[in-house]
A and B are shown apart, each in its own frame.
Chain A
Amino acid sequence: MIWDKEKECIDKEDLKQLQLERLQSTIHRVYRNVPFYRRMFDKEGIDPDSFSRIEDIKKIPFTTKNDLRENYPYGLFAVPLREVVRIHTSSGTTGMPIVVGYTKGDLKIWSELVARVLSAGGVTKDDVIQIAFNYGLFTGAFGFHYGAEKIGASVIPVSIENPRKQIKIMQDYKTTALISTPSYALLIANTILEMDINPNFLSLKFGLFGAEPWSERIRKEIEEKLKITATDNYGLSEVMGPGVAGECLEKNGLHINEDHFLFEIIDPHTLEPLEEGQTGELVITTLTKEAFPVLRFRTGDLTRFLPGKCPCGRTLRRIDRIMGRTDDMIIIRGLKIFPSQIETILYEIEGKQPNYQIILERQSGVDNITILLEVTEDIFSDVMKEQSQLINIIKERLSSEFGLSFNVKLAEKRSLEKIDGKLKRVIDKRN
């Protein structure tokens, strides 16, 4: 179902006009109310009255995560604190969190936009929605909660619980839609198998997953194990939370809520805009946010605009699933490679979730790429031939995929280098 047909199926020209109007008023509001943007405009000599086309946005410098951090906690709010009715923070893994405020109006729009995403993912007022996101400073749970209420569905705010408890609720309360991260959904799916429960006896029909990158392969796995239709959605707390973009049942990319957000995709190195279809960093400008508007915020997320129309009838443009983070993107001999691409190949060969590390080195001016793959002990005890066979298969697949030769080494379990308990996926020793 299409939640807001008027907006989601809007004529392209009408959309452009609406975006322009909203961009102009947003610029006036941030220039008047946010010292950071006032200083930025004055310093760069940008006249806030000089935006007559959406493309004029390119005059504005990017806003980075660091800019947001430096204005901790309330420096970037565009309204006085007494008008803010909610505070959330970004799940900053490093350093200071980013504090985001919402006015009453922001919360209202947030509910509307999540209602769009939920409807696109198949959810209606007749559904029983189990929200398995953490209720707290993180935006995921609350955003979906509001959207689900807006639709009129029944909401079960379970939050993060042990999977067995989730499954018990799922069985007893007859949950029909699950909201969580894809990895958590997979954990639930695997626990269901472990508990020897037949997923056909669950009432589950839909799953809307987001908050981390996932692949088509994981989608299939979740869909098969839970017997559901799984869709992807995208959001980030710096911009709003969930509700920024979401997949429809065609499962061919995420529709952007373009009447509220302006998307650009840039080359993260040259910072130049990229053409449709090319993968780069997503940059977002909010068009209706009142408390915490951002102009040209560099998300660090990698995706691309998808060409063509979606058969679902929505005219809102689509992006591809998030392929990773800019910090993870590898550029070697001019080629762009994402760890997720390598991961898919390793999975296909190994048949299970691979644990691996990518090492980049420079030897006499030539860049080399090495994959360190963790394997179980039994392969080490096996004959050397099998080991080298595995290495060769991986090497061949990788080089035919990327047109580049790879070094592949096998590593013992738990031997990969970790930083703060987190596996560092890419180690770049070139500089």
Chain B
Amino acid sequence: MLIIKNIDVYYGKLYTLKKISLHIKKGEIVALIGSNGAGKTTLLSTISGLIKPLSGSIIYEERDITKENPENIVKMGISQVPEGRLIFKTLTVEENLLIGSYSKYSFKKRKEIKGELEKIYQLFPKLKERKKQLAGTLSGGEQQMLAIGRALMSQPNLILLDEPSMGLAPNIVKEVFQHIVELKKLYGLTVLLVEQNARSALKISNRGYVIETGRIILEGTAEDLLSNKDVQRAYLGRDLDAELRI
């Protein structure tokens, strides 16, 4: 579905991504794990068209979208849920969701959009309860669900999730990840999941890539990565040295 080949990205004079190659097949959940500043968000923003790569190619459903603008990329069915949610706090929940459908909006389509909205309310009943409430009054977990719901309003095929667990309590993280799995089933979505919380991410993923200082250093099935000692030490928070001492 998505094939990335050798993309290089600069921020000013600084390289942030170096020859990144990665692919996602339809229906897969792929985790991209790595520490802070490894280039995870940069990669997502490059796919969304917010950042232009210096070289390399991004092919989505057999179309080259490397030079496409973000608006068209959303129309083609790629939707990004940004890190830190970035919801509009002073608008209501429903208004936030409707913003997500801007790329599709037209007077004729208002019924269709209404239907989409209902689907999202079904998936996240809490959002329905609070649809008239200002988004800023929601809890962190609810805000994350709102951000995901907003992304779904554009009826994407591929959703790019950036650190959905950030700043959430562990039980809420669990809930958010469960929702992601449901989404995949319900909408037949394909998901690229960026996470520092590598273990939770890999647990719901099919495959994963490990990114370090802008380069991919490991690729494998989620299961293999979970048992890889390098990954365990660096990203799963397991201190093997300490374990060995016991």
Contacts and interface: CB of A to CB of B under 8 A. Distances in A.
Q: Report if A and B associate in a common complex.
A: yes
The 4 closest A-B pairs by CB, nearest first: A52-B6, A83-B229, A49-B18, A21-B21
Nearest to B7: A52
A108 B223 CA distance: 11
Contacts of B216: 21, 24-25, 28
A82 interface: yes
B228 A290 contact: yes
Contacts of A168: none
A22 B219 contact: yes
Interface residues of B, number: 24
B3 A79 contact: no
Contacts of A104: 227, 229
B215 A49 contact: yes
Given A79-B229, A82-B244, A105-B227, A20 B21 contact: yes
A34 B185 CA distance: 43
Contacts of B184: none
Contacts of B230: 79, 83, 290
B52 interface: no
B220 A21 contact: no
Question: Which DSSP category, helix, strand, loop or mixed, fits chain A's interface?
Answer: helix
A84 to B, nearest CB: 10
A288 interface: yes
Contacts of B220: 105, 288
Contacts of A288: 220
24 contacts: A14-B23, A17-B21, A18-B23, A20-B5, A21-B21, A21-B22, A21-B209, A21-B216, A22-B219, A24-B215, A25-B216, A25-B217, A25-B218, A25-B219, A28-B212, A29-B218, A32-B217, A49-B19, A50-B19, A52-B6, A52-B56, A104-B229, A105-B228, A290-B228
Question: Which DSSP category, helix, strand, loop or mixed, fits chain B's interface?
Answer: strand
A32 B19 CA distance: 16
Contacts of A29: 217-218
Contacts of A32: 217
Interface string B1-44: 00101100000000000110111000000000000000000000
Nearest to A19: B21
A18 B220 CA distance: 10
A104 to B, nearest CB: 6
B23 A24 contact: no
A24 B219 CA distance: 10
B19 A51 contact: yes
Contacts of B228: 103, 105, 290
Nearest to A82: B244
A25 B21 CA distance: 9
A78 B18 CA distance: 22
B118 interface: no
B112 interface: no
Contacts of A52: 5-6, 19, 56
Contacts of B215: 24-25, 28, 49
A421 to B, nearest CB: 44
B224 A108 contact: yes
Contact of A17 (B3, B19, B218, B244): B3
B229 A17 contact: no
Given A82-B240, A83-B229, A105-B224, 10 more contacts: A28-B212, A29-B217, A32-B217, A49-B19, A50-B19, A52-B56, A79-B229, A82-B244, A105-B220, A105-B227
Contacts of A25: 215-219
Interface string A119-133: 000000000000000
Interface string B105-141: 0000000000000000000000000000000000000
